[in-house]
């Protein structure tokens, strides 16, 4: 008789559960509902796929995107598990066949979009069969305060009520604040759920924020240092995606693009080219990626700053899903803030929300944009900033982010801060950061002269300072709570009570400033930094063997028409290099190798491993 450990090894090739997985599996098997918060790449799917194989009835998985369903079903089928999906990509004949197979009890797991729950023929079929588990993936979509709100997610609880016998309901997401967690429990009507948050930290990810003068030149430098790696570049607009994608192709990179403005067939083909490793770089808007299970993404570069920490962390987390070292790099410029403000102001209104709720959500979006801007300009540990945002305590030093790896010196900025705070006060707290910088630098812009701002006492007091330095001080004063920036299209600055002691000379202000880096003459001119992926590659036990295993995997993937990572992940290939098995029993001990994959691919990989050993 199957048990959880046997299922884990036989079908998924793992000898041990990851952090938190076993506890969720046990709770579901006890008949409990569950709310599981795990970081991207933390193995959420195992938490419902293992119980699905142990429970008598069928498991229904609510999933928001077609790409996620297809990848998950491909992987399950390769592992010997009967699974299917129902979505708009199926022909009518295929759709009817899947429904009939559901009636006959063929599948253990079926993936559906939330919109499908309201379709009468599907709901009718579900009422006639035994459903033991309903798993809600990307559950933050149920919350109006989450970054990917989908109104159709609100109808999940109604669907559950139509079933003859209520199944266990388990909700899964990677990013959720306390408010979003509460919304998930309430909207899905979870009954005394087992709650677990395994931690938001992804130690294998290296976080960097760069502020280049020329973004595209910096991007080229980053990509040349990662020429043999697969990665995603996120841009804030479709226009930028098209421009960056075109310029990368002209520069000789294997890139493709993805955004909602493309024809459906083109978008689908471009995604498959990336997932199937026919193209190594995907340039995309945030329309790409939710649920993408491609394990060998070794870097995610944000060409523009996203709107919020939730989106950033979810998108950045698509790097390093196999556990190997990976890079998450944000190329920041102050223009990104203005672009995001424009996108918030011109976002499509949600017809399911009242005007008052629309305004509340807009105010929330501005507040989250403010936190994202703080992250992008922070001199503190970037990892700690993210973890603290999600309510998780951290040491304040990770040693694996651009802040922790940069040498800072603490500078007393009291004199400058006092003049800036005075300028905000003297102008009636009516202006934003740009105009305050112009006034205190003594700009003669027409607006300043026309409004008489050149007569305020603070005018020109910091004329010798460059605007970026003053902006950095303003960002620091806001982050530390000396000033606040109101939400809205035209944010204005206001003083807080904390500013009074500084203005009166009773308190000082200090700020961390990055020390200039001395040039390293030993480094190559082509690459100015070492990526986490390069560091990981250098640690690979046998580079030649790893390359041969990847080539064999590519051949098998082409033969079976599946992405290479579904045959075996890079982590599995690295474990083969490390353990170098020469027998079927030894091959079964490799992480990610189960009985089904042993039978499907074991002999071909063993033949290569044995031949490689003889050549040494």
Model confidence pLDDT, tens digit, residues 390-418: 888 887 889 999 999 888 888 999 999 99
Residue 352 has pLDDT above 80, yes or no: no
Predicted confidence at residue 135, as pLDDT, reads 97
Instruction: Please state, for a pLDDT cut of 90, what percent of the chain lies above it.
Output: 62
Sign of the torsion formed by the C-alpha atoms of 348, 351, 354 and 355: positive
For 487, counting Cβ atoms within 10 Å of its Cβ (0-12 exposed, 13-18 middle, 19+ buried), the class is middle
Determine contact, residues 534/432, Cβ cutoff 8 Å: no
Q: In angstroms, what CA-CA distances link 450 with 455, 457, 566?
A: 11, 16, 65
Report in angstroms the alpha-carbon separations of 481 from 381, 467, 504.
18, 21, 17
CA neighbor of 123 nearest in space, from 147, 151, 156, 146: 156
Instruction: Answer yes or no: same fold for 4-197 and 205-355.
Output: yes
Mean pLDDT (the chain, rounded):
89
Of the ranges 236-245, 497-506, 544-553, 558-567, which one carries the lowest mean pLDDT score? 558-567
CA distance 76 to 70: 10
Distance between CA atoms of residues 599 and 605, nearest Å:
11
Strand 205-210 with 194-197, pairing: unpaired
Residue 487 has pLDDT above 80, yes or no: no
Residue 132 in contact with residue 56, Cβ under 8 Å?
yes
Q: Given this model, what pLDDT does residue 531 score?
A: 59
Closest CA to 305 of 333, 326, 281, 347: 333
- Predicted confidence (pLDDT) at residue 528 exceeds the cutoff of 60: no
Residue 43 has pLDDT above 70, yes or no: yes
CA dist 289 and 142 (Å) reads 18
Q: What is the pLDDT at residue 522?
A: 39
pLDDT at 101: 96
Give Dmax (Cα) for the chain. 85
pLDDT at 118 over 60: yes
Class of domain 408-514: mainly alpha
Helix (H, G, I), strand (E, B) or coil at 453: helix
Which residue stretches of 189-253 are H helix?
Answer: 215-224, 238-250
Q: What is the pLDDT of residue 533?
A: 52
Q: With DSSP H G I counted as helix, E B as strand and the rest as coil, what are the percentages for the chain, rounded to 5?
A: 50, 15, 40
- 307 pLDDT more than 80: yes
Q: What is the CATH number of domain 205-355?
A: 3.40.50.300
Token representation of residue 601: 């691919």
pLDDT of residue 31: 96
The residue ranges of DSSP E strands in 79-221, in sequence order, are: 83-86, 109-112, 131-136, 168-173, 194-197, 205-210
pLDDT at 524: 40
In CATH, what class is 540-615? mainly alpha
Q: How confident is the model at residue 292 (pLDDT cuts 50, 70, 90)?
A: low
| Dihedral sign for Cα atoms in the order 137, 140, 144, 149 | negative
Q: Do 218 and 210 form a contact (C-beta atoms < 8 A)?
A: yes
- Pair 138, 291: CB distance under 8 Å: yes
Confidence of residue 152 (pLDDT cuts 50, 70, 90): confident
The reported pLDDT for the residue numbered 516 is 63
CATH number for the region 4-197 comes to: 3.40.50.300
The string of pLDDT tens digits covering residues 503-515 is 999 999 999 887 7
Residue extents of the structural domains in the chain:
4-197, 205-355, 408-514, 540-615
At residue 598, the pLDDT reads: 93
pLDDT at residue 589 tops 90: yes
Helix axes 21-29, 44-54, angle to 10 degrees: 30
Q: Angle, nearest 10°, between helix axes 309-316 and 382-389?
A: 120
Residue 297: per-residue pLDDT: 92
Supply the pLDDT for residue 291.
55
Quote the strand ranges of 313-470, DSSP E.
Answer: 326-331, 408-412
Q: In the predicted model, what is the mean pLDDT of residues 511-540?
A: 55
pLDDT at 147 (0 to 100): 61
pLDDT at 541: 63
Q: What is the mean pLDDT of residues 507-533?
A: 61
Of 100-114, 223-237, 351-365, minimum mean pLDDT range: 351-365
Of 21-25, 240-244, 322-326, which range is least confident? 322-326
User: Which of 89-98, 220-229, 387-396 has the least mean pLDDT?
Assistant: 387-396
Q: How far is CA 458 from CA 417, 429, 461, 463, in A?
A: 12, 13, 5, 10
Residue 465 clears pLDDT 70, i.e. is over it: yes
* Mean pLDDT confidence for 259-285: 92
Beta bridge partners, 58, equal 131
């Amino acid at each position: 008789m199957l048990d959880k450990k046997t299922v884990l090894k036989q079908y998924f090739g793992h000898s041990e559960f990851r952090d938190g997985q076993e506890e969720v599996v046990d709770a579901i098997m006890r008949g409990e509902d569950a709310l599981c918060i795990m970081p991207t790449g933390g193995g959420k799917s195992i938490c419902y796929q293992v119980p699905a194989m142990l429970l008598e009835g069928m498991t229904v998985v609510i999933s928001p995107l077609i790409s996620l369903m297809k990848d998950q079903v491909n992987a399950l089928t390769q592992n010997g598990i009967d699974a299917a999906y129902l979505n708009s990509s199926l022909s009518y004949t295929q759709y009817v066949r899947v429904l009939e197979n559901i009636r006959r009890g063929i599948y253990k797991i079926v993936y559906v979009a939330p919109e499908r729950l309201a379709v009468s023929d599907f709901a009718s079929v579900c009422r006639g069969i035994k459903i033991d588990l309903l798993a809600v993936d990307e559950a933050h979509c149920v919350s109006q305060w989450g970054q990917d709100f989908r109104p159709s997610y609100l109808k999940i609880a109604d669907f559950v009520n139509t079933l003859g016998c209520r199944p266990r309901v388990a909700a899964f997401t990677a990013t959720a604040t306390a408010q979003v967690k509460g919304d998930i429990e309430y909207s899905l009507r979870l009954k005394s759920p087992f709650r677990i948050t395994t931690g938001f930290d992804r130690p294998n990810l290296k976080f960097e924020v760069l502020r280049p003068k020329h973004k595209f030149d910096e991007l080229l430098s980053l990509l040349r240092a990662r020429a043999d790696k697969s990665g995603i570049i996120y841009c804030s607009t479709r226009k930028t995606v098209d421009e960056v994608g075109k310029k990368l192709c002209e520069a000789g990179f294997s890139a493709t693009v993805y955004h909602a403005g493309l024809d459906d067939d083109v978008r689908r083909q471009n995604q498959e080219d990336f997932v199937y490793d026919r193209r190594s770089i995907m340039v995309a808007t945030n329309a790409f990626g939710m649920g993408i299970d491609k394990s060998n993404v070794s870097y995610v570069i944000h060409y523009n700053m996203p709107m919020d920490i939730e989106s950033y962390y979810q998108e950045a987390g698509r790097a390093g899903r196999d556990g190997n070292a990976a890079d998450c790099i944000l190329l920041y410029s102050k223009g990104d803030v203005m672009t995001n403000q424009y996108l918030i102001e011109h976002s499509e209104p949600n017809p399911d929300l009242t005007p008052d709720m629309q305004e509340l959500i807009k105010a929330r979006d501005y507040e989250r944009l403010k936190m994202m801007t703080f992250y992008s300009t922070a001199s503190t540990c970037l990892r700690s900033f993210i973890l603290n945002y999600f309510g998780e305590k951290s040491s304040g030093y990770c040693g694996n982010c651009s802040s922790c790896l940069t040498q800072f010196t603490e500078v007393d900025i009291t004199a400058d801060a006092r003049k800036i705070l005075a300028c905000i006060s003297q102008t009636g707290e009516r202006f934003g950061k740009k105009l305050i910088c112009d006034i205190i630098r003594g700009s003669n812009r027409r607006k300043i002269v026309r409004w008489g701002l050149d007569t305020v006492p603070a005018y020109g007091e910091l004329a010798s300072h460059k605007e970026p330095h003053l902006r950095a001080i303003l960002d620091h004063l806001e982050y530390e709570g000396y000033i606040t920036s109101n939400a809205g299209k035209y944010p204005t600055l206001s003083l807080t009570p904390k500013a009074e002691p500084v203005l009166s000379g009773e308190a000082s202000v200090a700020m961390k400033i990055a020390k200039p880096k001395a040039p390293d003459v030993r480094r190559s001119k082509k690459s100015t930094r070492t990526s986490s992926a390069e560091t990981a590659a250098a640690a690979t036990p046998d580079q030649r063997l790893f390359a041969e295993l990847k080539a064999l995997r590519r051949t098998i993937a082409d033969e079976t028409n599946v992405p290479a990572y579904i045959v075996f992940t890079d982590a599995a290939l690295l474990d083969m290099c490390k353990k170098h098995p020469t027998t079927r029993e030894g091959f079964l001990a490799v992480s990610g190798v189960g009985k089904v994959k042993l039978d499907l691919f074991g002999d071909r990989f063993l033949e290569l491993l044995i031949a490689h050993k003889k050549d040494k």
